A and B are shown apart, each in its own frame.
Chain A
Amino acid sequence: EAGVTQFPSHSVIEKGQTVTLRCDPISGHDNLYWYRRVMGKEIKFLLHFVKESKQDESGMPNNRFLAERTGGTYSTLKVQPAELEDSGVYFCASSQDRGHEQFFGPGTRLTVL
């Protein structure tokens, strides 16, 4: 069974540009989560989808971040326009049911110059 996959693995962009990160959860997992870790800090929760619906987006830092999960399969996280402080590693996770074990992808390392 394939794990959670994320694309790209690395992205380097300039301040003010737009970047879109993609996450493919484990097949059959209705719950999809986005997290990020900025340099020197702990991993922080961004938002949670149940199928295509946003269940909790309390961790989204501001309106420059837009997450979607059309059709309830893969998800995208768009940052527009990117700022220097957005640099970090963005992780995606999925779980079969709420409260169950969360399985993480390898992350996307975003560098904003």
Chain B
Amino acid sequence: KQEVTQIPAALSVPEGENLVLNCSFTDSAIYNLQWFRQDPGKGLTSLLLIQSSQREQTSGRLNASLDKSSGRSTLYIAASQPGDSATYLCAVRPGGGADGLTFGKGTHLIIQP
């Protein structure tokens, strides 16, 4: 059974810092991995999708990497801003035809102005 762990559970950093959020998964037989952000009381916003054959994806100040064999992904946020404050969720889609995502519990990020 796939399990997804996100570390740290919470993080508070001053504005302008670069930071890394970690995601690990127990079963490396994944089809892809998706990073989301969730603002309080809102739905999930998709940030990046990495296919299992890819090593990384970039969107603006965000860079996500994937090391499928070791069961790890990182989300790198450059030059953090207060607007980046949110909960960041990692989710994996299994291989083998199933489509339901398995989520981690998330990292609650606060960027201090």
Q: A residues near B, CB below 8 A?
A: 4, 31, 33, 35, 41-48, 55-56, 58-59, 91, 93, 95, 98-107
Contacts and interface: CB of A to CB of B under 8 A. Distances in A.
B76 interface: no
Contacts of B113: none
A100 B31 CA distance: 10
Nearest to B95: A99
A55 B99 contact: yes
Nearest 9 pairs between A and B by C-beta? A45-B100, A106-B43, A104-B44, A43-B103, A42-B105, A42-B103, A101-B49, A104-B43, A48-B99
B100 A58 contact: yes
B43 A91 contact: yes
Contacts, number: 60
**Chain B interface helix/strand/loop/mixed:** strand
Nearest to B6: A42
Interface of B: 4, 31-32, 34, 36, 42-46, 49, 89, 91, 93, 98-106
A33 B100 contact: yes
Interface centre among B45, B89, B99, B101 (most CB of A within 10 A): B99
A31 B98 CA distance: 12
B2 to A, nearest CB: 10
B66 to A, nearest CB: 15
A33 B101 CA distance: 9
A10 to B, nearest CB: 10
B75 to A, nearest CB: 16
B102 A107 contact: no
Contacts of A93: 44
19 contacts: A31-B99, A33-B100, A42-B4, A42-B103, A42-B105, A43-B101, A45-B102, A46-B100, A48-B99, A58-B98, A95-B99, A98-B99, A99-B32, A101-B46, A103-B46, A104-B43, A104-B46, A106-B43, A107-B43
